Amino acid sequence: MSDIPSNKPYLIRALHQWCTDFRFTPFIAVFVDENVEVPMEFVKNDEIVLNLSLEACHQLNLDNDWISFQARFGGVPRKIMVPVTHVLAIYARENGQGMSFPFDASKLPAPSPQENEPAEKSKINRPSLTIVK
């Protein structure tokens, strides 16, 4: 079973398309560590929520390993790079419908030696969201 690729990137793309089709605003919640390129001043408790709407993002790319785009934060253009493994959830801002993903930071590659995170941050549990038709 471990040879089967993850369905997570496909689900993210599908939910992004669903949000876009119904004029909802797709948001993603992301676990932030040294592998994520986001404006750190907007990170709270090792997480950031990003707007993936076509109006907010320039050059949005939702591939199997990375989500990348350019966006303005406080009027300043920034390049955003998020590994798909770090996406905690994708949902519509307007109604909260979407999907959360199981996440265990301890299964990610080991942080660099200068990183010393407390053990209680190593596992984040999220409630499951379901899409209602």
Helices within the chain (DSSP H only): 8-21
In a domain, 110, yes or no: no
- How many structural domains is the chain composed of? 1
Look at residue 13 and tell me if it is in a domain: yes
Cα dihedral: 21, 27, 32, 37 (round 10): 60
pLDDT in tens, 12-33: 999 999 999 999 999 999 999 9
- Is the pLDDT reported for residue 124 higher than 70? no
Kindly state whether residue 75 falls inside one of the protein's structural domains.
Answer: yes
CA 39 to chain centre: 14
Q: What is the CATH number of the domain that holds 65?
A: 2.30.30.220
pTM of the model: 0.79
**What's 34's DSSP letter?**
T
Assess if residue 111 is contained within a domain: no
Share of the chain above pLDDT 70, in %: 80
Residue 126 lies in a domain: no
Three-class SS state of 90: strand
**pLDDT, tens digit, 9 for 90 and up, residues 70-106:** 999 999 999 999 999 999 999 999 999 999 999 887 7
- Whole-number average pLDDT of the chain: 85
Domain that holds residue 35: 8-101
**How distant, in Å, are the alpha carbons of 32, 107, 120 from that of 80?**
12, 23, 27
**Does residue 71 sit within a domain?**
yes
- Indicate whether 79 belongs to any domain: yes
36 within some domain: yes
